[in-house]
Amino acid sequence: MKRALISVYEKDKKLFDFVSFLNRKGYQIISTGGTFQYLKKHGIDHVIKISDITSFPEILDGRIKTIHPNIYGGILANRSIEEHMNSIFYYKIYPIDIVLVNFYPFLEKKHLKSFQSLIEFIDIGGPSMLRAAAKNFLHVTAIIDHNDYILVKKEIEHNGMTSLKLRKKLAGKVFNFTSAYDSSISQYLLEEDFPIYLHSSYKKEMNLRYGENPHQKAAYYVSTIHRGAMRNFHQLHGKKLSFNNLRDMDISWKVVSEFSDPACCTVKHSTPCGVASGKNVIEAFQKTYYADDISSFGGIMAVNVPITRELANEIKDIFLEVILSPSYEKDGLNILKLKKNLRIIRINDPISDTLESVKIDGGILVQQIDRFLSHDYKIVTKKKFSNQELKSLFFAQKVVKYVKSNAIVIAKGTQTLGISGGQTNRIWSARQAIERALEKRKKDLVLVSDAFFPFRDVVDEAARSGVIRAIIQPGGSIRDEESVNACDEYGIAMAFTGERHFKH
């Protein structure tokens, strides 16, 4: 007689239907305490309690119930090795053909404040049984995912047993899950940013239409360990999200999250186009769109406050791929939903990641996220900042962190007027940012740089514009004095922060 060992935390109708199917197909069902009671209660009579197999009761509040030779011998015995089979039969151990287990939900219980309570959700028996079954996939079917019930049922129905191909696949899923499960526990206990072994635990959220380009396959995974804005959002409307959408959404939300006042940001190709804050969301949007209405076409827009009916009317005729907000007024949402393809996203969680990583060929780079933004600065010129210039400089500093190096942001008040980065030298970025700002015909602008000026040429370019009045940069170049002298020549105020914000 074939045997199936069933021991699950989650007990639902899918489980009942699957076990009923196995029962009808002549499988002898072995089960642990809670699962045993559930199956008996729901009318499956031919179930053997695991203690009847082990001849030993559950002890230590259930910590010991399946760890026994009568269980593991039945799972691990290689049916093609005569010595294995003689050994288990000598000890009156019978083979187990299916092992169906799901674990204590440690991943879902990480929020528990009590350390002792969370420890009880570290499963030992479940992973051990499944790993044993997966190791012996040549003969044993290991099931961790309830979505696989239908595949197993189909093969048993048609062939009387599962195929080697399916057993191998299911074994791979077991080790895939147990590695993520162990990773979550490891990170919780270590509490280290940079452990000896770097483990990641991500679950596939969706397949994407394609990657950065149509010939590249792609999928989106979310962390099983950390919270975060891009992990827990809700799409309210629109087409399926793309690889590029998600990357741009991440940047736009990070930018507006820097501000406590109502703020708006548009992003294109992972680069902020326009950013502004205002006394209300309408002002923030209008200033943002004015900053760069050309680049915003087909871009991503985020606001850090609810979207109102008034704002929806303002943006309804603009071509945007995605809109992000923490919430939407009902009338505003209905207006936006008239745009069939517009992806409307509600953000549920604040940004919470502390680390970021970049994959390189054969390795991975991991670093702390650049959260630092000091208001400490040292005036190095004869001219000092006005209060308005200082407010504008601090505003632009929050934006420059998210622009690719070499990054230059030019602003007036709490509005960007020129953004440029991703150039191989700083003077090119400065020229592009200044050129864009000059199109707006504004005066008394400020300039922020993510890193020091290697030469005085950026100051010279700023002076030629006739509109730059104040500069903040990290300083630290061997030619800092040249830039300081240039500012004094032109009557431009400049300060050093001592902190750079490279974004490669």
DSSP state of 366: E
HEC per residue, 146-191: HHHHHHHHHHHHHHCCCCHHHHHHHHHHHHHHHHHHHHHHHHHHHC
Alpha-carbon distances of 261 from 249, 284, 464, rounded to whole Å: 20, 9, 33
For residue 369, give both structure tokens: 């996220």
Among the listed residues 394, 404, 408, 478, the one whose alpha carbon sits nearest the alpha carbon of residue 447: 408
Residue written as tokens 């790993």?
Answer: 131
Mapped onto helix, strand or coil, the DSSP state of residue 248 is helix
C-alpha 290: how far from chain center:
31
Sheet with 445-449, strands from edge to edge, namely 233-237, 343-347, 320-325, 299-303, 263-268, 271-277, 415-420, 408-412, 445-449, 468-473, 493-496, 378-379
Residue written as tokens 């032109």?
Answer: 490
CB 446 within 8 A of CB 472: yes
b/e per residue, 348-360, with b = 16+ CB within 10 A? eeebebeeeeeee
Residue written as tokens 């691990």?
Answer: 76
Report d(CA 111, CA 56) in Å as an integer.
Answer: 35
Report d(CA 176, CA 170) in Å as an integer.
Answer: 10
Residue written as tokens 């962190």?
Answer: 401
Tell me the sheet residues that pair with 265: 275, 302
Report d(CA 477, CA 425) in Å as an integer.
Answer: 14
Phi then psi for residue 173, to 5 deg, are -65, -35
Segment holding 423, helix H or strand E = none
111: burial class by Cβ within 10 Å (0-12, 13-18, 19+)? exposed
Positions marked catalytic: 135, 269
Report d(CA 234, CA 328) in Å as an integer.
Answer: 12
